[in-house]
Amino acid sequence: MGDLNLWWDRYGLKLLALVAAALIIGAVYPQLASRSQNPSQLSAWDSDWNDLSRFAADMEARGYTTQSLLSSPQALGELTGEQRNSTVLVILGVERAYTEAEAKAIHEFVKQGGRVLLADDFGHGNSAVTGLYSVGASFFGKRLYDRNHWEEAYHPHNSSYVVIDAAVTHYGFSGQLLLSEPTALTIAEGGKAIPLARSSVQSFVDLNGDGIGDSDEGAFSTGGAVVLAEVEIGSGRMVMLSDPSLFINSLYGELDNREFAQALIDNLAQGSNTTLLFDESRHLQPDFLSLVYVQLFGYVVFAGSNEVARIIFLATILLGAEVALMRTRNPLPWRHLHNLYRGRSTNYRVPHAHYVHPDTIREVFLDRVRIEHGYSREEFNMFSGARLEELLGDETLVRFIVNRDAKLRQEQVLEAISRWTK
């Protein structure tokens, strides 16, 4: 057992540091790798052209509270019923995929009365709605083109833009939406998802990426590709839009985008005192520290909602505390404990590492000497070396306490302590 304690003192912290580094690298590296090709965007709190600050400020001006979710959608499970009913989860762009547990958390949030706005194009939006938690709609993931409105002076022959003639009576809205490089929504036959807006019959989904409407990519004879849909889940609702760019700063004020966004949020909110919760956890962070924070905080949230993870997390905390206690200087004893082999010992009666360290032995024994002679700490600390030698009255103890002789064996010191008397 003594060999094990010695090994732990030498290598334990190094091992823990390596494990911690591996966890951090494992959490962070995939996002760092993808960041090189996909810069941060779609943040409600940034003012770049592809961020959402205009939309967020507009909603605040309309009386809504805006907050951000930085950790994980699993935190939604902490909301009370009243909080769920007054919260709209706003997911605009999904740059990092949701885990199955996170998708389940979103599903349960909606099922129990929450509302969700999910807008994506070529990101990981499907991770929130497919698999076990399918809602009957998904993002196609291929570029949608529409020849309609190409001849207008506003954006002549600009295939990046798609104009949607939308009449969404459900929201009390009628007007034109301007999208930039959207995709389409796939609606499952017989599913619960209801199409609310479509592109024109001149539109096509570019399957091969050549920008040309080939014969197998032909026009939508049924009224165009679906770009907006809604689905009821339990007592809540989810709205899906095939392009988050409608809300970005550079397009928010174009055509009728702003009016549509207002009508959409008003319909989802269903009253005042509603909080718009922007999910910032799906965005690639602009700096390393923010990225690490989001990742690690997400793990903390996961640990709090999973029984096995909670046990592992708590065990890690306790282990870390024990390691910190072993490696830090032991404070002055808070009780009169002068038997070095009592107290913090294992079941095998092996003394804690603190209690066999020479400095700890000196502190504990000197406190015993002080107490035996009835001195206060202030008085005792002012004694000269000669006075201390007089109180000790033992050559071995003088060598150990006053002279700090490193050549003394621990057995010699403990034997001298055991025979010491006032």
What is the DSSP annotation of 119-142? E-SSSSGGGGTSGGG--SEEE--S
Question: Is 0.75 topped by the overall pTM?
Answer: no
Nearest CA to 188 out of 129, 117, 114 is that of 129
Q: What percent of the chain has pLDDT over 70?
A: 68
Mean pLDDT of all residues in the chain?
Answer: 77
The two tokens of residue 355 are 């209690």
Query: Radius of gyration (Cα) for the chain, nearest Å?
Result: 33
- Who has greater pLDDT, 40 or 257? 257
β-partners of residue 198 are 226
Least confident of 265-274, 280-289, 364-373: 280-289
Full set of structural domains in the chain with CATH = 41-283 (3.40.50), 353-419 (no CATH)
Least confident of 247-251, 289-293, 314-318: 289-293
Section 234-255 average pLDDT:
95
Query: Can you tell me the distance from the alpha carbon of 120 to that of 138, in angstroms, rounded to the nearest whole number?
Result: 10
Section 384-412 average pLDDT:
85
Q: Nearest-5° angle of CA 5, CA 6, CA 7?
A: 90
Q: Is pLDDT of 356 > 90?
A: no
β-partners of residue 118 are 91, 240
Query: Can you tell me the distance from the alpha carbon of 413 to that of 420, in angstroms, rounded to the nearest whole number?
Result: 11
Q: How far apart are the first and last CA of the chain?
A: 35
Query: Can you tell me the distance from the alpha carbon of 396 to that of 297, in angstroms, rounded to the nearest whole number?
Result: 54
Least confident of 86-95, 169-178, 191-200, 321-330: 321-330
Query: Can you tell me the distance from the alpha carbon of 269 to that of 260, in angstroms, rounded to the nearest whole number?
Result: 14
Query: Can you tell me the distance from the alpha carbon of 358 to that of 403, in angstroms, rounded to the nearest whole number?
Result: 13
pLDDT in tens, 18-29: 566 555 545 444
- Who has greater pLDDT, 47 or 349? 47
Section 166-170 average pLDDT:
92
Q: Is pLDDT of 156 > 90?
A: no
The two tokens of residue 388 are 């201390």
Confidence bin at 420 (pLDDT 50/70/90): confident
Q: Is pLDDT of 74 > 60?
A: yes
Q: Nearest-5° angle of CA 94, CA 96, CA 316?
A: 140
- Give the model's pLDDT for residue 343: 40
Section 323-327 average pLDDT:
49
367 in helix, strand or coil? helix
DSSP letter, residue 94: -
Section 104-131 average pLDDT:
93
Query: Can you tell me the distance from the alpha carbon of 226 to that of 168, in angstroms, rounded to the nearest whole number?
Result: 13
- Give the model's pLDDT for residue 421: 81
